[in-house]
Chain A
């Protein structure tokens, strides 16, 4: 009897330890029972959902369910004991949307339909899931939903002492990361994205620009900005490290934070006059593909050459873009010429079939006996607006300053 009791206790202990392991495992936000997403795509979407939860405390889930009856779906099998969550799931072309906690209060049916449309608007499975996550994230930002504090408190209440220790360690780490790097170098590669040769080449280019235009140029990469907003981080980085030349501290700074996968460009003084918010957006568009592909050195070289072009233009005036304007003029001239000569060619043609007989219609003979119109059906199509991924701001600290950037 005792042996049986020990055996049962051992099984129970094993079961409980297994639950503990499951609980400690990374949360799965994306479930793909259709097998339409690759492992890499699932990982990327999971990372994006994890980031949303980290920033807002909201668990955002997406599920393709093949083996589960969607009508009897137990939501906790996907979201676990998460209180504040949003879930969209599909099974055999039947969709369900479930929300919990604050999301249940905030998300209306219209919002739910909008998330679904965001998914439908993409041509690929991964594109649809990505659009869904982006739209939910945007909704959370717009509604200013943030339950991270409460979640932490709940976690602290429910978690063991070991977990509390871990949490404390994370806070310490965050506090460490939020301290702005102090450096006097115009090229700081804290995220270790560049080889030695690439660093040397960039440094040489930076020195030449500074020497030629007397405007400070700097590039910095960091692993994270911690709990500090990247806009604040780049401003502090520029100010604390004393970048900028002259009374107005003329300069331009480019910052990348790898954890957030965000970049920012700050222009100050003469730099701000040369590189406006629109210019920052334009430079961002020129480099974002290189950043996405991991070609960081190439992106930095593009940034430097664009900056030099704008600064040189501000100081010496922009050269007349002869080649581009000549091409535009030639293409415009050719199009106008095609219309003109086309009209001349048409003058030579006067023989054509008459497909109608309106000249032979008896005047006043038309008699409308029955006129009826009725509605059949309607369709709604949606097209995503061209999205400006960059956000820019302008601050004043005695001299003009522009900050802008985006994600990659």
Chain B
């Protein structure tokens, strides 16, 4: 049994949660609001208030076989005593019996503690509105998908990200071409001159994010970028109350390759922008040295919406900080054929009519 934390209302003892609109902890029972600043010291106090949960361990039921519990963590709800089963990365969830939000303190303790968190700025209602807007204006979206679509799950999730800061020392050699064309009575001549272009210099990157969770599709997470790090705050577990949260399961060493790819590409482009007056420019050799590289651990707010249609699962994501909404949608094949044929016929008719009028003139 691991350590579990609920935030109780000092007034009515109800479970309180973080409210994205108020940017405060709010009690859903008595509507009292609590400032986030007070929670830092409250967090410290809570760390010493964990022993009582151990008393509720039970030996009832059959014992787990060897290997069965390898990926599972079992917690006990402080409100109703119900058993909460999560996996090894679950950091925050809600009790399936009483619905109270709970935070698994042990998942974010010691070396596992995130450095930063960007609190949710958009709530569930905003996510649902964004989904409705996402459906709008798409003529090839099947009508049945919109009408019959019932969301299976809408969850606010703090996704673990690794943030990489680094100074790049770049030595890039580009190959550039200039062309000159002239002609005589029989031939058109094209002279292509080739140049070697050297650019040395430095450039800095900060907070390049890489998804540290294997549960979430990396491409989906990159699609909702960018995140504005200036709104990040020092991590406090209280921000997780009312949302789901995972701890990382891909470490910073394993994630750095993806950050390097993106940094290299942007470095090449940044220095290429200083090369002017050439018809074509492409990097021929790129040597990049990273200095002062630092990786930070942060939790970023994401709304995940999932639904199924015609046996296929569709996942949408919304950036909980900026509201950017993404998610691939199905295509209505019959509507596509209808538009293809209809547009062809309409345009052909107009072109034909214009040609006929020209012929008459």
Q: Which residue of A lies closest to B219 (CB)?
A: A353
Decide: A334 and B344 in contact? CB cutoff 8 A.
Answer: yes
Instruction: Give the Cβ gap from B356 to chain A, nearest Cβ, in Å.
Output: 7
A332 part of interface (Cβ distance < 8 Å):
yes
Using CB atoms and an 8 Å cutoff, list the residues of chain A in contact with chain B: 114, 117-118, 121, 135, 138, 320, 325-326, 328-330, 332-334, 336-338, 340-341, 344-345, 347-362, 365-385, 387
A117 and B187 in contact (CB under 8 A), knowing A338-B340, A354-B262?
Answer: yes
B208 part of interface (Cβ distance < 8 Å):
yes
List 17 A–B pairs whose Cβ atoms lie within 8 Å, in order of A's numbering: A325-B356, A333-B346, A345-B140, A350-B134, A350-B327, A354-B262, A355-B265, A357-B259, A360-B208, A361-B203, A361-B204, A362-B205, A374-B196, A376-B195, A379-B191, A384-B187, A385-B187
Q: Which residue of A lies closest to B274 (CB)?
A: A368
Give chain B residues whose Cβ lies under 8 Å from the Cβ of A325. Answer: 352, 355-356, 359
A374 and B203 in contact (CB under 8 A), knowing A121-B187, A354-B223?
Answer: no
A347 and B140 in contact (CB under 8 A), knowing A135-B186, A354-B225, A366-B201?
Answer: yes
Main secondary structure of the interface of A (DSSP, over half): mixed
Decide: B328 and A350 in contact? CB cutoff 8 A.
Answer: yes
Give chain A residues whose Cβ lies under 8 Å from the Cβ of B204. Answer: 361-362, 365
Decide: A320 and B190 in contact? CB cutoff 8 A.
Answer: no
Question: Which of the segments B15-23, B93-101, B111-119, B329-337 contacts the partner chain?
Answer: B329-337
Q: Which of B225, B266, B349 contacts A329 (CB 8 A)?
A: B349
Decide: B351 and A369 in contact? CB cutoff 8 A.
Answer: no
Q: Which residue of A lies closest to B221 (CB)?
A: A354
The distance in angstroms between the C-alpha atoms of A361 and B266, with both chains bound, is 8
A344 and B223 in contact (CB under 8 A), knowing A330-B344, A332-B348, A375-B193?
Answer: no
Q: Which of B192, B195, B201 contacts A369 (CB 8 A)?
A: B201
Interface centre among A341, A349, A374, A387 (most CB of B within 10 A): A341
Decide: A370 and B261 in contact? CB cutoff 8 A.
Answer: no
Using CB atoms and an 8 Å cutoff, list the residues of chain B in contact with chain A: 134, 137-141, 167, 176, 183-209, 219-220, 222-223, 225-226, 259, 261-263, 265-266, 269-271, 274-275, 325-331, 336, 339-341, 343-349, 351-352, 355-356, 359
The distance in angstroms between the C-alpha atoms of A100 and B183, with both chains bound, is 28
Across the A-B interface, how many residue pairs have beta carbons closer than 8 Å?
207
Interface centre among B203, B348, B359 (most CB of A within 10 A): B348
The distance in angstroms between the C-alpha atoms of A380 and B180, with both chains bound, is 9
The distance in angstroms between the C-alpha atoms of A373 and B186, with both chains bound, is 35
Decide: B348 and A330 in contact? CB cutoff 8 A.
Answer: yes
Give chain B residues whose Cβ lies under 8 Å from the Cβ of A337. Answer: 339-341, 343-344, 347
Instruction: Give the Cβ gap from B25 to chain A, nearest Cβ, in Å.
Output: 31
The distance in angstroms between the C-alpha atoms of A60 and B185, with both chains bound, is 21
Decide: A365 and B202 in contact? CB cutoff 8 A.
Answer: yes
Instruction: Give the Cβ gap from A350 to chain B, nearest Cβ, in Å.
Output: 4
Decide: A366 and B270 in contact? CB cutoff 8 A.
Answer: yes
A347 and B352 in contact (CB under 8 A), knowing A368-B199, A378-B192?
Answer: no
Give chain B residues whose Cβ lies under 8 Å from the Cβ of A377. Answer: 193-194
Q: Which of B262, B345, B347 contacts A355 (CB 8 A)?
A: B262
The distance in angstroms between the C-alpha atoms of A365 and B270, with both chains bound, is 11
The distance in angstroms between the C-alpha atoms of A368 and B269, with both chains bound, is 13
Q: Which of B202, B265, B344 contacts A333 (CB 8 A)?
A: B344
Give chain B residues whose Cβ lies under 8 Å from the Cβ of A359. Answer: 225-226
Q: Which of A135, A334, A348 contacts B141 (CB 8 A)?
A: A348
Decide: B201 and A368 in contact? CB cutoff 8 A.
Answer: yes
Give chain A residues whose Cβ lies under 8 Å from the Cβ of B139. Answer: 344, 347
Instruction: Give the Cβ gap from A217 to chain B, nearest Cβ, in Å.
Output: 27
The distance in angstroms between the C-alpha atoms of A347 and B331, with both chains bound, is 10
Identify the 10 closest CB pairs spanning chains A and B, nearest first. A333-B348, A365-B204, A370-B200, A333-B347, A362-B204, A337-B343, A357-B262, A359-B226, A329-B352, A329-B351
Give chain B residues whose Cβ lies under 8 Å from the Cβ of A372. Answer: 197-198
